[in-house]
Amino acid sequence: MSPVGTMNLDLDNETRAFRAEVRSWLATNVPTTPLPPVETPAGDRAHRAWERRLAAAGLSVVSWPTAYGGRDVSPLQWLIFEEEYHRARAPVRINQNGLFLLAPTLFTHGTAEQRARLLPRMARADDVWAQAWSEPEAGSDLAGIRSRAVRTDGGWLLSGQKTWSTRAARADHAFGLFRTGVDRHRGLTYLMFDLRAAGVTVRPIQQVGGAAGFAEIFLDQVFVPDADVLGVVDQGWTVAMSTAGHERGLSLRSPGRFTAAAQRLVRLWCQAGAHAADPGLSDRVVAGWIAARAYQLHSYGTATQEAADRTPEPPPPPGRADRPAQTGSTALRGSGHAASMTKVFWSELDVALHEVALDLLGPYAEIGGLPANSAGRADDAGDADAWLDGYLFSLAGPIYAGTNEIQRTVIAERVLGLPRDRR
Amino acid sequence: MKLTPSAEQEQFAAALHAMLTEADIPAVARQWAADDPAPGQALWRQLAELGVTGLAVPARWGGLAAHPADLVVACEELGHHALPGPAAESIAALPVLLTALGDDALCETWLPRLANGEVIGTLAVPPHVPYATDADVVSLVLRADEQTLRLGVPGPRLRSVDGTRRLVEVADGALLATGPAVGPAIAHALNAGALACAAQLLGAGHALLETTLRYAGQRTQFGQPIGQFQAVKHQLADVAIGLEFARPLLYAAAVALADHPSTAARDVSAAKVACADAAQRAARTALQVHGAIGYARESGLDSWLTRIWALARTWGTQSWHRDRIRTALATGALT
């Protein structure tokens, strides 16, 4: 036998240059004072303006093909972009529902006309997109959707109610599933609609903490042209699920978020003097750092593998047929169901990192950060409520995009091969 | 940037897996525990033929000078099959220790024979590794403390919860090395041993997950396989998640050992903590899902359970490894 392989964590020159370019641009361009909250009118304008600046610099959709405003970078380079973006504390992506949920579906199932019409405007946030999946009676049981799309001349008429629609209060368009047939799963169609169209009523919903981050959408005979059906009529469930991995997996909450949060947590821990004082808290900081690092490395592996999968590979080696291949990381690649593992992991990691931070802050947790002029305050703690906002945000993670209970069932059945529930 | 096993590594793992599947390891392990080490020693010679024992030995001394990631691949398989014998010691820590000392005479005496399987070795590194595993059935026994390396003189044997781990007290024998080079060499050996230990833990955890998935699919209660109950499913999903996210830390630690000495201690410790946690969760869940039959020796589960209980706490406790990470993070953040 000969020495069998090498591994490294060193980026190639092209990727290092890309990282340097992104870091340098962000250092010059990220606003020094945080933008107003994205849910407010002023915040909405400011975040759209920020997206236009990103787009003008060619940095709003780096992983997309150049034809739609992207730079066609590798999955690894996209991860690097996200690391830098979060490291720089750059503004929240107002169009993330469009960029990270709808766009992958358009690339897979959309027509050339839809891509040409929708993607460049999305890349510049000319159109901001909201998701419209959940309904009052269809949450975890998403296939229980009741909102209907009824055939009419040249299109469809939408009626019903959607809820928990992120960004819907101020977005321009939304996408979701509508009932077009009686079959639970094969009677749903993926449709995109204009939130300003006649028959649409949007009612913002205040969240824990007070922000109106999501909304209810009431639909009364809202016309949608055939051109805005995504994929095949009645096949909407398949269309949505084929890219559900994007929401659960890497793209919606990119590893960069947790890498940056873990680094900030370590700084907070040191500057608060807690690294020397409290072994219990220190253990939790260490545990959080390990988990964030695990997720970062895991995503590097996924990205590297995705790139490798774009080229033909030799058949798998013999001799492993008797082992459940599903349990190895390499065997899980590209599977939408494997993204369920990722989703459970990052959502619980996110909560844990913020809980430790709040415990470190102690009586200052309820104001979200150490007060100005306090000895332990970090240099970059300008946004005093960042940890509190982050905590509130993190608490939604185990709920949205399929609750973690649903994800664990999916993992057990689709990844581990256990028999299906009676449901 | 490359962090996933290569096709060659997959093939290497497959060959090792095939060899270990062919061998009746439960029987070999029983004999090893019952003072009949010959079948186990024969199996170790087969490992040598596949190159496993020479992975960490430099080419100059008859080894393969392989990347530490190859060591991880091999040790994961050994853990998966619960192979008896001092794997972390003989395959990882000893070759790294002797190589790092740089004493040609010592290297020449032991490394070629460790590589070719003629010698199996073990060592005690108090306080992390207080006893030398299998010192009464192997032919090289060392004892390392902070500044000195000595031959170890096997004394009384202690009973491990894992009967195949023949723990032996070792007294100081002839002095082999002392001086400033010894401390760093022992530190290297500790990292290599901890990495090998972590890899075995991950493999053992996977073995338990696979066994438990089979059992949960077959065992019927209330008219359905117990694996159909959500309470069981969710526990097994958590086991899978733990193992899935421990593996990248293991490979990153191997990369750090090869290329990034400044973060090696931190990264090896992260791997050990995560793999031990994931394996212990797998062990706990495997036992719970099997129920009483898992608690009975006849199930055979105990080979993996007891191995995990032992390995999770040797080559550095979880506290010691967390402390190394804490130090690295505090230093990094404050400088």
Please, how many CA atoms are within 13 Å of residue B141, restricted to the half-sphere of its CB? 24
The helix (H) or strand (E) run that includes residue A174 is: strand A173-179
What are the two backbone dihedrals, phi and then psi, of residue A175, each rounded to the nearest 5 degrees?
A: -135, 150
Q: Which of the four CATH numbers 1.10.287.1080, 3.40.50.2000, 3.40.50.2030, 1.20.140.10 does domain B186-334 have?
A: 1.20.140.10
Q: Are B133 and B165 within 8 A, CB to CB?
A: yes
Q: Are A339 and B242 in contact (CB under 8 A)?
A: no
Lowest mean pLDDT among A400-404, B119-123, B225-229: A400-404
Per domain, the residue ranges of chain A are 13-94, 129-242, 247-309+325-415
CA–CA separation, B291 and B311 (whole Å): 23
**Residues on chain B touching A324 (C-beta within 8 angstroms):** 210, 213
Cross-chain Cβ contact A419/B7 below 8 Å? no
pLDDT attached to residue B332:
82
Task: Give residue A79's Cα distance to chain centre.
Answer: 13
Q: Say whether domain A129-242 belongs to CATH 2.40.110.10.
A: yes
**Which ipTM was obtained for this model?**
0.95
Q: How far is A12 from chain B (nearest CA, A)?
A: 7
Cross-chain residue pair A5–B70, CB shorter than 8 Å: yes
Q: When comparing pLDDT for A9 and B276, which is higher?
A: B276
Q: How far apart are CA B233 and CA A92, in angstroms?
A: 36
HEC per residue, B162-177: CCCCEEEEEEEEEEEE
pLDDT attached to residue A333: 36
Give the strand pairing for A173-179 and A129-132: parallel
* Mean of all residue pLDDT scores within chain B: 96
CB B28 within 8 A of CB B43: yes
Enumerate the residues of chain A whose CB falls inside 8 A of the CB of residue B5: 5, 330
CB A127 within 8 A of CB A121: yes
Q: CB-based contacts of B46: which residues, under 8 Å, 6+ apart?
A: B19, B23
A247-309+325-415 fold: Butyryl-CoA Dehydrogenase, subunit A; domain 3 (1.20.140)
Least confident residue range of A216-225, A320-329, B217-226: A320-329
Rounded Cα distance between A337 and A248, Å, is 9
- The confidence score (pLDDT) of residue A330 equals 31
Q: Averaged over A121-141, what is the pLDDT?
A: 94
Tokens at residue A308, please?
Answer: 């490798």
pLDDT at B107: 97
Closest CA to B184 of B95, B101, B125: B101
Closest residue in A to B250 (Cα) is: A294
pLDDT value at A385 more than 70: no
Residues of A annotated as catalytic (active site), given as ranges? 247
Residues of chain B in contact with residue A285, where contact means CB-CB under 8 angstroms, are 326, 329
Provide the 8-state DSSP code for A412. I
Residue A324 confidence (pLDDT) above 50? no
Distant-in-sequence, close-in-space partners of B109: CB < 8 Å, separation ≥ 6: none
Cβ contact (<8 Å) for B227 and A295? no
Q: CA B226, B230, B234: angle at the middle one, nearest 5?
A: 105
Q: Do A320 and B14 touch (CB under 8 A)?
A: yes
CB-nearest to A8 from B8, B259, B322 is: B259
pLDDT category at B279 given cuts 50, 70, 90 is very high
List C-alpha distances in Å: B154 to A7, B96, B131, B141, B158.
39, 22, 10, 8, 11
Largest interatomic CA distance in chain A: 71
In whole angstroms, what is the distance from residue B106 CA to residue A142 CA? 68
Please report where in the chains the tokens 């990270």 appear, as a residue.
Answer: A100
Residues with Cβ within 8 Å of residue A115, at least 6 apart in sequence: A68, A106, A107
- The pLDDT, as a whole number, for residue A275 is 65
CB contact set of A258 (below 8 Å; sequence gap of 6+): A291, A292, A295, A296, A346, A349, A350, A353
On chain B, the residues whose CB falls within 8 A of the CB of A277 are none
| Predicted pLDDT at A336 | 61
CB contact under 8 A, B50 and A297: no
| Contacting residues for B156 by C-beta, under 8 A, at least 6 apart | B168, B169
Per the CB < 8 A criterion, the answer to whether A196 and A153 are in contact is no
Q: What is the mean pLDDT of chain A?
A: 87
Mean pLDDT, range A410-416, rounded to an integer: 95
pLDDT band of residue A211 (cuts 50, 70, 90) is confident
Q: Taking residues A13-27, what's their average pLDDT? A: 96
Give the residue from chain A lying closest to B19, CA to CA.
A319
Does a cis peptide bond (omega within 30 degrees of 0) precede residue B127? yes
pLDDT in tens, A48-96: 999 999 999 999 999 999 999 999 999 899 999 999 999 999 999 999 9
Where along chain B do its domains lie?
Answer: 186-334
